[in-house]
């Protein structure tokens, strides 16, 4: 796999494929707003670069929220799956990761799977909110969409409509 950062468009396509590996290029195009030809080119490039190494089924893991891992020192884990990386006083790292990290096979000392998450008021005040649909920073109060026991934060009514449409089809 090439050692590079993924583009915003590549991440959008990967998110669609992660949610449904059998999704058509046309459906990815509709979900992301990227043209069909560009989606096909992105997928081909991700396959050629070794980012996509296969397509598979996925277990029903709707109850899984995040992966929490203790690792020895900094790890070479793709940035798009790392929510938080705490450097500990003993040289180890506490990582909060997207559930997709489970399939990456990185070496860990301890691993836990979170089935729920609540933020206290102090954390809400510190956390920069980003739209779960378009990725833009949310200014002011976010619109919250509840689906499948999860909260999605969106920046505008358009993103609210589009994410509801996408979630309805999952």
Residues 102 and 72 in one domain: yes
Residues 76 and 110 in one domain: yes
Q: For the chain, how many structural domains are there in total?
A: 3
Identify whether the C-beta of residue 46 lies closer than 8 Å to the C-beta of residue 25: no
Residues 73 and 105 in one domain: yes
Question: What's the pTM?
Answer: 0.40
For residue 126, the domain's CATH number is 2.30.170
- What range defines the domain where residue 146 resides? 121-168
Residue 16 in domain: yes
Residues 135 and 100 in one domain: no
| pLDDT for res 159 | 93
Of 114, 130, 146, which marks where a domain is finished? 114
For residue 32, the domain's CATH number is 1.10.10
Give the HSE-up count for residue 128: Cα atoms under 13 Å, Cβ half-sphere: 6
Give 97-139 pLDDT, tens digit per residue: 887 887 787 888 888 877 777 766 655 545 557 888 898 888 8
| pLDDT for res 63 | 53
**HEC assignment per residue over the chain:** CCCCCCCHHHHHHHHHHHHCCCCCHHHHHHHHCCCHHHHHHHHHHHHHCCCCCCCCCCCCCCCCCEEEEEEECCCCCCHHHEEEEEECCCCEEEEEEEHHHHHHCCCCCEEEEECCCCCCHHHHHHCCCECCCCCCECCCCCEEEEECCEEEEECCHHHHHHHHHHHHCC
Among 12-16, 39-43, 90-94, 103-107, where is mean pLDDT lowest?
A: 103-107
In 3D, which of 51, 109, 57 has the Cα closest to residue 81? Answer: 51
| pLDDT for res 142 | 83
Give 42-72 pLDDT, tens digit per residue: 999 999 988 888 887 655 555 557 888 899 8
Residues 103 and 70 in one domain: yes
Residue 58 in domain: no
Residue 157 in domain: yes
């Amino acid at each position: 796999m090439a050692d590079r950062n993924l583009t915003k468009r590549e991440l959008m396509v990967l998110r669609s494929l992660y949610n449904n590996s059998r999704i058509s290029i046309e459906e990815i195009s509709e979900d992301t707003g990227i043209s069909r030809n560009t989606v096909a080119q992105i997928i081909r490039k991700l396959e050629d670069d070794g980012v996509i190494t296969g397509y598979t089924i996925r277990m029903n893991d709707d109850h899984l929220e995040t992966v929490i891992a203790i690792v020895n020192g900094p790890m070479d884990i793709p940035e798009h799956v790392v929510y938080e990386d705490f450097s500990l006083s003993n040289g180890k790292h506490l990582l909060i990761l997207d559930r997709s990290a489970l399939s990456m096979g990185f070496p860990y000392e301890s691993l836990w799977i979170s089935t729920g998450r609540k933020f206290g008021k102090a954390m809400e005040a510190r956390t920069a909110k980003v739209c779960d649909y378009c990725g833009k920073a949310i200014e002011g109060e976010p619109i919250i969409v509840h689906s499948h026991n999860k909260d999605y934060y969106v920046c505008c009514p358009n993103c609210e409509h589009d994410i509801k449409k996408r979630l309805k089809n999952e």
